[in-house]
């Protein structure tokens, strides 16, 4: 099974943290359903091209959070995610992406006002594009 | 069962033109450990000492939980559990056919799996009736690797396994070694010059330079803790209150036109420090392993010069 996790090598954020945040988002958003068997530690580390130590740490952390379950000899599964849990982590990856966008803006000396305006503009553009593509042809 | 597959404690070897060690090293079981270092840094010698081919002058070596002592190379029970691929193919074997060599080696290993051997020949597209001396360098390497893997050893020691392999054969080898590791209790210790090989295979990296271990690192931690930051001279000039040299983990500072590049080995602390001081980097760059090795070698040179 292939897990859609993307690594940003340029980031100062440790690799294991990047993978954990993304895997958690996939679980709490329901994209990885309860009972899904995850790849073995070795298999997953090959997909992401990282070491088994990193993946072992991610699995352990998420198990401690109650999002994963490991059955000896069978593998690691997605556990049942409570409503509360879902709400708490649903927006994690969105916040992360916004933080990166703000950092990118500051690198080119954007001020607060300019960033807000840009954000409004992008939101408007994306949503209106969606509406257009969903509306029936005339 | 220990969690260490190979342990070297205070191992030293003295030769007229070369001194190795003292080396202290633990190779964890169930993981891939890559020894990286320039030519002549002592990688092959270290392997030969682990396998009791060369005797160290001082120190102790433990292999799969057993102490390596003079004469223990005749310990066939221990040999069964190890696969060793040497750096150079043996030249006196040139006249043998592949099948003859495999027949000879198989006598020594009770665990020799003929089906696995055949499968490896098929994957590598090796004709067993061929004379070893007639094989291309890459073909010979693949054959030697097949022979080393056929008795299902629990520890693989590979001295520059990919030398002579073309990109396709290299990829096959990487996949084969990944599959070998799937059975979680196996261990690989390899030496290599090829950075991509380390990236694709290793869990731990050992830097060996001029006969000394510069450090043992968890690969991902190493790669994510080193980071290059670029700052514009302008921005730094505007912030005369900050000494950018004081950035945590600073390893090097380069000046380019209009830019300053600072490399740190404490990326997380550096990031926090920059945030606290309200400095924005113009750009960031992850370091490749060879960049890190270069900086570590420089640092080592400075240290030995000062001591």
Closest Cα partner for B10 from B148, B212, B163?
B212
Please list every residue in chain B whose beta carbon sits closer than 8 Å to the beta carbon of residue A15: 220-221, 223-224
Q: What does the pLDDT look like over B155-174, one tens digit per residue?
A: 999 999 998 888 988 999 99
Residue from A9, A10, A12 to probe the interface with B (highest B Cβ count within 10 Å): A12
Residue from B34, B205, B223, B224 to probe the interface with A (highest A Cβ count within 10 Å): B224
Please list every residue in chain B whose beta carbon sits closer than 8 Å to the beta carbon of residue A10: 284-286
- In a domain? residue A6: no
Please list every residue in chain A whose beta carbon sits closer than 8 Å to the beta carbon of residue B219: 50-51, 53
pLDDT value at B97 more than 50: yes
Please state, in angstroms and as integers, the Cα–Cα distance from residue B301 to each residue in A60, B294, B295, B306, following that order: 40, 11, 10, 9
User: Does A74 lie in the same domain as A31?
Assistant: yes
CA distance B230 to B242: 15
User: Looking at the DSSP assignment, which residues form a beta bridge with residue B23?
Assistant: B11
Percent of chain A topping pLDDT 70: 95
Question: What pLDDT, on a 0 to 100 scale, did the predictor assign at position B270?
Answer: 95
- Kindly list the structural domains of chain B, giving each domain's residue range(s) and its CATH number in brackets, ordered by start: 4-222 (3.40.50.300), 227-286 (3.30.70)
User: Does A20 lie in the same domain as A74?
Assistant: yes
Chain B residue with minimum CA distance to A73:
B184
Q: Which of A58, A78, A98 is the last residue of a domain?
A: A78
Q: What does the pLDDT look like over B243-273, one tens digit per residue?
A: 998 999 999 999 988 899 999 999 999 999 9
Q: Are B102 and B128 in contact (CB under 8 A)?
A: yes
User: Does A98 lie in the same domain as A74?
Assistant: no
Enclosing domain of residue A21: 15-78
Whether residue A13 and residue B181 make contact (CB cut-off 8 A), yes or no, is no
User: Does A99 lie in the same domain as A124?
Assistant: yes
Chain A residue with minimum CA distance to B230:
A107
Q: Which of A34, A58, A78 is the last residue of a domain?
A: A78
User: Does A66 lie in the same domain as A111?
Assistant: no
Complex ipTM above 0.90?
Answer: no
User: Does A87 lie in the same domain as A71?
Assistant: no
pLDDT value at B2 more than 60: no
Q: What does the pLDDT look like over B113-151, one tens digit per residue?
A: 999 999 999 999 999 999 999 998 889 999 999 999 999
User: Does A72 lie in the same domain as A93?
Assistant: no
Domain count, chain A: 2
- In a domain? residue A119: yes
Q: What does the pLDDT look like over A76-108, one tens digit per residue?
A: 999 988 777 777 777 777 888 899 899 889 888
Q: Is A42 on the interface with B (CB under 8 A)?
A: yes
Q: List all residues 6 or more positions away from A66 whose beta carbon is below 8 Å from its beta carbon.
A: A79, A85
pLDDT value at B105 more than 80: yes
Question: What pLDDT, on a 0 to 100 scale, did the predictor assign at position B74?
Answer: 59
The alpha carbon of residue A117 is apart from the nearest alpha carbon of chain B, in Å, by: 21
3-state secondary structure of B128: coil
User: Does A93 lie in the same domain as A64?
Assistant: no
Percent of chain A topping pLDDT 90: 38
User: Does A68 lie in the same domain as A23?
Assistant: yes
Judging by DSSP bridges, how do beta strands B18-28 and B4-15 pair with one another? antiparallel
Least trusted range by pLDDT, from B65-69, B250-254, B302-306: B302-306
- In a domain? residue A9: no
pTM of the model as a whole: 0.82
- In a domain? residue A8: no
Please list every residue in chain B whose beta carbon sits closer than 8 Å to the beta carbon of residue A9: 223, 286
Token look-up 């993307």 returns A6
Q: Is A52 on the interface with B (CB under 8 A)?
A: yes
Residue in A15, A46, A103 nearest the CB of B224: A15
The CATH number of the domain holding residue A22 is: 1.10.10.10
Question: What pLDDT, on a 0 to 100 scale, did the predictor assign at position B307?
Answer: 62
- In a domain? residue A33: yes
Whether residue A52 and residue B178 make contact (CB cut-off 8 A), yes or no, is no
The alpha carbon of residue A110 is apart from the nearest alpha carbon of chain B, in Å, by: 12
User: Does A21 lie in the same domain as A73?
Assistant: yes
- In a domain? residue A51: yes
- In a domain? residue A5: no
Q: Is A90 on the interface with B (CB under 8 A)?
A: no
- In a domain? residue A115: yes
> Sorting pLDDT into bands at 50, 70 and 90, what band is B1?
very low
The alpha carbon of residue B237 is apart from the nearest alpha carbon of chain A, in Å, by: 16
Residue in A10, A106, A107 nearest the CB of B285: A10
Q: Is A104 on the interface with B (CB under 8 A)?
A: no
The list of chain A residues with pLDDT below 70 reads 133-138
Please list every residue in chain B whose beta carbon sits closer than 8 Å to the beta carbon of residue A52: 30-31, 203
């Amino acid at each position: 099974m292939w897990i859609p996790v993307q690594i940003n090598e340029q980031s100062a954020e440790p690799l294991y943290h990047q993978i954990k945040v993304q895997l958690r988002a996939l679980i709490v958003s329901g994209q990885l359903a309860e009972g899904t068997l995850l790849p073995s530690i070795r298999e997953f580390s090959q997909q992401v091209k990282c070491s088994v130590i990193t993946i072992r740490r991610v699995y352990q952390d998420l198990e401690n959070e109650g999002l994963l379950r490991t059955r000896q000899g069978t593998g690691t599964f997605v556990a049942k995610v409570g409503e509360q849990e879902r709400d708490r982590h649903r927006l994690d990856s969105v916040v992360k992406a916004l933080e990166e966008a703000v950092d990118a803006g500051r690198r080119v000396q954007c001020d607060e006002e300019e960033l807000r305006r840009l954000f409004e503009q992008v939101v408007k553009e994306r949503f209106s594009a969606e509406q257009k593509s969903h509306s029936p042809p005339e | 069962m220990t969690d260490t597959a190979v342990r070297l404690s205070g191992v030293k070897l003295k030769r007229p033109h070369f001194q190795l060690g003292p080396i202290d090293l633990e190779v964890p079981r169930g993981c891939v450990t890559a020894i990286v270092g320039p030519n002549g840094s002592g990688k092959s010698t270290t392997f030969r000492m682990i396998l009791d081919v060369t005797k160290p002058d001082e120190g102790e070596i433990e292999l799969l939980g057993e102490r390596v002592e003079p004469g223990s190379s005749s310990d066939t029970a221990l040999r069964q559990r190890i696969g060793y691929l040497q750096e150079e193919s043996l030249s006196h074997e040139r006249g043998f056919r592949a099948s003859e060599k495999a027949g000879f080696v198989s006598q020594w290993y009770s665990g020799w799996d003929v089906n696995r051997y055949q499968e490896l020949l098929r994957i590598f597209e090796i004709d067993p009736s061929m004379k070893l001396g007639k094989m291309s360098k890459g073909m010979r390497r693949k054959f030697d690797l097949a022979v080393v893997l056929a008795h299902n050893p629990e520890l693989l020691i590979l001295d520059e396994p990919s030398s002579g392999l073309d990109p396709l054969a290299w990829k096959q080898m990487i996949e084969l070694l990944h599959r070998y590791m799937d059975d979680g209790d196996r261990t690989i210790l390899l030496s290599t010059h090829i950075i991509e090989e380390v990236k694709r295979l290793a869990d731990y990296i050992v830097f060996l330079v001029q006969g000394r271990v510069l450090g043992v690192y968890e690969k991902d931690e190493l790669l994510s803790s080193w980071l290059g930051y670029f700052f514009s001279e302008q921005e730094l000039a505007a912030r005369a209150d900050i000494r950018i040299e004081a950035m945590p983990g600073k390893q090097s500072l380069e000046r380019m036109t209009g830019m300053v590049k600072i490399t740190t080995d404490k990326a997380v602390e550096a990031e926090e420090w920059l945030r606290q001081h309200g400095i924005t980097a113009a750009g960031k760059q992850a370091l490749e392993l060879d960049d890190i090795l270069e900086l570590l070698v420089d640092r080592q040179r400075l240290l030995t010069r000062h001591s």
